[in-house]
Amino acid sequence: MVTCMTPRKIPHTLAIIPARGGSKGLPRKNVRLLGGIPLIAHTIRAAMESRVERVIVSTDDDEIAAVSHEWGAETPFKRPPEYAGDASTSLSVLLHALRFMEQEQSMKIEQVIFLQPTSPFRRPRHIDEALQKFDEKRAVSLISVTEVQEYHPYFMFTLGSGGDLEPLFQMEQRPLRRQDLPSFYRINGAIYISRRSYYENLPDRAAIFDWNSLSAYVMDAPSSLDINDYLDFQRAELMLQKEMGKNL
């Protein structure tokens, strides 16, 4: 493991990396080797080399905890079973981590950064740029997005009650040439930032970000790869091999 120069940290920023042991789409994906290191290590390394003050991993799994600690993240608690099931929400995991860090470790938290370990191409600069934009925009929340490329919403449909196709947009509104289509963006799952104050008195099924005061940080498509299954993992391996080939 390579130790890099530590950037100047932003006080009272906490990065939470959620990583339960019971992943379904790709079993044990968080500790599966990608480019010679565990998948979760890519996210830990990016967070540790960013300006985030503290980086913790919330997990119910001893192996994931050991790997996370090896790569420099804090593992201050073992996630309780009630927050590690298939029905557990991201919000419940985040709130549990927040309460523990504040009550058990007396940490003052002003900004919360939620980093899913399934985004291995999210780099330290992405986190730092997102934090900078979050500060500049003074929004309550910020999420990372990427431009829709393959499947543009103007060419999407729903099925009517009789099984007929119904376009999402009226046909007369749709440009005839693809290059004239307006830009659309989708959440890529790489970075979620919110002010600590947002998490006071939220309903149980709320989002981990504030829809009413939300800014966006745009990432390129390759950096936005989100690993959910084996095909995603294979694609990530090919991308890393190509990247390594360029650096030879």
Alpha carbons 144 and 135: distance in angstroms, whole number: 15
Q: Note whether 107 and 179 are within 8 A (CB).
A: no
174 a catalytic residue: yes
| Strand boundaries in the chain, DSSP class E | 10-18, 33-34, 37-38, 52-58, 111-114, 141-147, 157-159, 165-167, 185-195, 214-218
Selecting among 122, 174, 195, 205, the annotated active-site residue is: 174
Helix (H), strand (E) at residue 242: helix 230-247
Nearest to residue 191, comparing CAs of 230, 213, 223, 222?
223
Q: One-letter amino acid identity for 192?
A: Y
- What SS3 state is found at 36? coil
- Please identify which residue in the block is written with the tokens 């309903």: 203
Beta bridge mates, 186: 146
Alpha carbons 27 and 188: distance in angstroms, whole number: 21
Residues near 116 by beta carbon (within 8 Å), at least 6 away in sequence: 17, 18, 43, 189, 190, 226
Active site residues: 174
